Chains A and B, each alone.
Chain A
Amino acid sequence: MSESEFKLDYVKKDLPLYVRNVGLILSAIGLIIVVISYLADPVRTAYNSLILTAFVVSIGVCSLFLVALEYIAGAVWSVVFRRISEFLSTVVFIAPIIAIPFLLNLHNVFIWTHTGTVAKDAVLAVKAPYLNVHFFLIRFAVIFLIWWLFYFIFIRNSQKQDITRDQKLTKINIVFSGIFIPVFGFSISIAGIDWLMSIEPKWYSTIFAVYYFAGSLLAALAALTLIAVRMNEKGLLIPGLMKDHFYSLGALLFAFTNFWAYIAFSQYMLIWYANLPEETFWFINRTQGSWMYLTIGMAFARFVIPYILLLTQPSKMNPKRLKIAAVWILLSHWYDLYWIVMPNYSKHGIAFSWNEIAFPVLVLGLIILVFYSRSRKVNLIPVGDPKLKRSLEFRL
């Protein structure tokens, strides 16, 4: 078969309407509880908004990273799934909205915003040139602008190719991927350090940014897997997808589960071994009272259980197993972020009630809505991509 004979057996189908309705209902309910929660307890809501901002950025930016990775690595198998990652990356636009409550409460969340305390504290004073409100907000704005910029470049070129079938667009995107990936490395590190690590501004860990990246990429992959399997079951993607494609998703999920465990354990072990007070207190805080259970549970939730779920070869291609693992990993990413942030809100034990549900519901609804509206006008697979034929024929 030569390239010109290749006939694409693809008809654009729309996502069913109930998807939109579910998204609308969840967003509406979520918004109401968030507002009530904010009125009742703004500080607690601010902490939750921080968790969910980090969560949304995980999915959005790392989806964009997956798109770039496909371009720069010349990956073939994932072309059929690229649109899903593209749609998912749109959620970087809703992240600043989710962030509003914590941006309004910087003073309550971040100790380094208290200029009086900082002036008296030698350690914080040294860090003040970086950790100050103005520079914090500037970085916040700059990293989002960078992400939006690259979003527009990648998505515009990818969608244009559906119509023009111009191979040059792929080349352009490859070049921009080369620029984006290092920029992504810096910006996601800034996000992790600024939002999650600086709640404990005196804590030292040189690997924390990688830790956030590892969990985030896992979440983006899980979201991609969940939606890909589901859309394929509903026949919304293209006929001819084989278990080889899904196996690749499963293998990546498995690989990054191990990567996360490797990073998380490295961070823990080095801190435990060196036993320096400016590092250990972070973990000690997470063993206070009932936090201990969550700390131990973490090893199981993020590593042992997904590891067992995805260990065998058949389970990596089993759609049902993939969906369970993907949902589990998404939940455990939220758990991870909660575990990072919340011990600063409630030092002596787990704090969990309806306030913690509010934002996840809202975010879930918004992600569904964003995904739905993005999928309306665009083909669900990149029909103009020169690698599409090989992608369909991909076998392990």
Chain B
Amino acid sequence: MKEKTLFSITGLFDSSDEIGHAVEAVVKAGYKKYDVNTPFPVHGLDTKMKLPPSKLGYFALVLGLMGASAALFFMWWSISKDYPIIIGGKPYFALPAFIPITFEVTVLTASVGTVLTMLFLFFRLPNINHPLQDTNYMRNVSNDKFGISIEAEDPLFEAGKVKDFLKSLNAQDVGEIYFEEDETADSTRIFSPKFIAFLIVTAVIISGVTYFTLNKLLFMDPFNFMEEQQRFAPEGQTTFFKDTRMMRTPPAGAVARGAMPYMFANEPDSAAKELINPLQPDEKTLALGREKFNTYCSPCHDYLAKGNSRLMGQFPNPPSLHSEKVRNWPDGRIFHVITEGQNVMPSYAKQLEPNERWAVILYIRALQRAMNAKEGDLK
């Protein structure tokens, strides 16, 4: 059998007064590595143990400041810098509006961070075991006894002497605590498969139950007044209106928002005379024109406007747009064809905004020019 390593010598006391005196004696004897375990917080023990004030507050401060600056930075970056949004007519960087969130994030990071720091630094987190665990000593001090445990690491430690010393303080049950075998090896037990599996199962169950209760069992619409309102189907009947129809006709003379009536219906010649292309044939316009032409016109007129339909005879082939006639048409005349259609060609006014029509026309002009270049164009 391997020899066990000694962790500490422990002794038990009956009352908080006794443990107080014992601690004073231990401090006086010069022991440094020892710990006291009590079933409830005993006031004044920390002063008797001469413990320095906790440093945890500084962690909280630093974490809080980090949280505050992270929150402020994120809000500045997202709302003022990367995607500036004006909210409520306030400046992009509206500090007063950011303060509540900064405050919440500060509190959150400081508190959660401090607890985690405590778990890692003081309880040595990945390690979740301690030699005192599962011992009779622990059983006693978490019930009705007050215990002191002087560790073997202490420079003054000598097993026999410590035992006598504790007995001289009237400690009961003076005994040794040994490391268990797997504790001496540096195994970080938190990563044991069993524990990890336990964590995963717990997480899945808790999130599943939460999801089910909140989203299925107790689900409530946050705002249901838009969903729950009375509404009518377009073709339905109602008693509300006299004519019992739900669909209403707009009042005479109503115009849709943004709509511009076309003034030259059935008047191709006036359109040709009066309409002037407002656009210049620059790179951007031509790119727009090409996009729209290729989308809406090329299925019939073909990409080069020569009239080779891609519709395989399912629709009459249009004439070429490179004809003398069309080349000599003013822009306004083509505009008229797009807006009104011509014979079998339907109107494209719904698909194309006026300025898109003008861009398409400029693109057609470019195509025409490419087929029938003028002499001067070569220069």
When the two chains form the complex, which single residue of A268, A313, A395, A396 contacts B96, counting CB atoms closer than 8 Å?
A268
Measured in the bound complex, the distance between the Cα atoms of B57 and A314 in whole Å is 11
When the two chains form the complex, which single residue of B43, B53, B57, B97 contacts A273, counting CB atoms closer than 8 Å?
B97
Measured in the bound complex, the distance between the Cα atoms of B46 and A396 in whole Å is 12
Mark out the residues of chain A between 259 and 285 whose CB falls within 8 Å of any chain B CB in the assembled complex: 265, 268-269, 272-273, 275
Task: Check if A396 sits within 8 Å of B43, measured CB to CB.
Answer: yes
When the two chains form the complex, which single residue of B43, B44, B89, B99 contacts A269, counting CB atoms closer than 8 Å?
B99
Interface string of A230-274 (1 = CB under 8 A from B): 000000000000000000000000000000000001001100110
When the two chains form the complex, which single residue of B43, B89, B99 contacts A395, counting CB atoms closer than 8 Å?
B43
> Which residue in chain B gives the minimum CB-CB distance to A394?
B43
> Which residue in chain A gives the minimum CB-CB distance to B88?
A273
Distance (whole angstroms) from the CB of A254 to the closest CB of chain B? 13
Task: Check if B88 sits within 8 Å of A269, measured CB to CB.
Answer: no
Task: Check if A272 sits within 8 Å of B96, measured CB to CB.
Answer: yes
**Would you call A312 an interface residue if the criterion is a C-beta within 8 Å of the partner chain's C-beta atoms?**
yes
Mark out the residues of chain B between 210 and 259 whose CB falls within 8 Å of any chain A CB in the assembled complex: none
Chain B interface mostly: loop
Task: Check if B88 sits within 8 Å of A275, measured CB to CB.
Answer: yes
Mark out the residues of chain A between 338 and 377 whose CB falls within 8 Å of any chain B CB in the assembled complex: none
Task: Check if A265 sits within 8 Å of B44, measured CB to CB.
Answer: no
Task: Check if B44 sits within 8 Å of A313, measured CB to CB.
Answer: no
Residues from chain A with a CB closer than 8 A to the CB of B90 are 273
Measured in the bound complex, the distance between the Cα atoms of B90 and A269 in whole Å is 12
Once A273-B88, A275-B89 are accepted as A-B contacts, the answer to whether A313 and B53 lie under 8 Å apart by CB is yes
> Which residue in chain A gives the minimum CB-CB distance to B100?
A269
Once A312-B57, A313-B53, A313-B57 are accepted as A-B contacts, the answer to whether A273 and B44 lie under 8 Å apart by CB is no
> Which residue in chain B gives the minimum CB-CB distance to A244?
B43
Distance (whole angstroms) from the CB of A266 to the closest CB of chain B? 9
Residues from chain A with a CB closer than 8 A to the CB of B88 are 273, 275
Residues from chain B with a CB closer than 8 A to the CB of A395 are 43-44
Residues from chain B with a CB closer than 8 A to the CB of A269 are 96-97, 99-100
**Interface size grouping (class) on chain A:** 10 to 19
Measured in the bound complex, the distance between the Cα atoms of B41 and A395 in whole Å is 11
> Which residue in chain A gives the minimum CB-CB distance to B43?
A395
Distance (whole angstroms) from the CB of B278 to the closest CB of chain A? 41
Interface string of B26-61 (1 = CB under 8 A from A): 000000000000000001100000000100010000
Measured in the bound complex, the distance between the Cα atoms of B100 and A268 in whole Å is 12
> Which residue in chain B gives the minimum CB-CB distance to A242?
B44
> Which residue in chain B gives the minimum CB-CB distance to A396?
B43
Measured in the bound complex, the distance between the Cα atoms of B53 and A315 in whole Å is 13
Residues from chain A with a CB closer than 8 A to the CB of B99 are 265, 269
Residues from chain A with a CB closer than 8 A to the CB of B44 are 395
Residues from chain A with a CB closer than 8 A to the CB of B57 are 312-313
Residues from chain B with a CB closer than 8 A to the CB of A265 are 96, 99
Distance (whole angstroms) from the CB of A125 to the closest CB of chain B? 32
Distance (whole angstroms) from the CB of B135 to the closest CB of chain A? 30
Mark out the residues of chain A between 309 and 341 whose CB falls within 8 Å of any chain B CB in the assembled complex: 312-314
Distance (whole angstroms) from the CB of A276 to the closest CB of chain B? 12
Measured in the bound complex, the distance between the Cα atoms of B55 and A312 in whole Å is 11
Once A313-B53, A395-B43, A396-B43 are accepted as A-B contacts, the answer to whether A273 and B89 lie under 8 Å apart by CB is no
13 contacting pairs across A/B (C-beta < 8 A): A265-B96, A265-B99, A268-B96, A269-B96, A273-B88, A273-B90, A273-B96, A273-B97, A275-B88, A313-B53, A314-B53, A395-B43, A396-B43
- Give B residues with C-beta under 8 Å from A: 43-44, 53, 57, 88-90, 96-97, 99-100
- Give A residues with C-beta under 8 Å from B: 265, 268-269, 272-273, 275, 312-314, 395-396
Known: A265-B99, A273-B90, A396-B43. 9 other contacts (CB 8 A): A269-B96, A269-B97, A269-B99, A269-B100, A273-B97, A275-B88, A312-B57, A314-B53, A395-B43
User: What are the 9 closest A-B residue pairs judged by CB atoms, nearest first?
Assistant: A395-B43, A269-B96, A272-B96, A395-B44, A273-B97, A313-B57, A273-B88, A313-B53, A265-B99
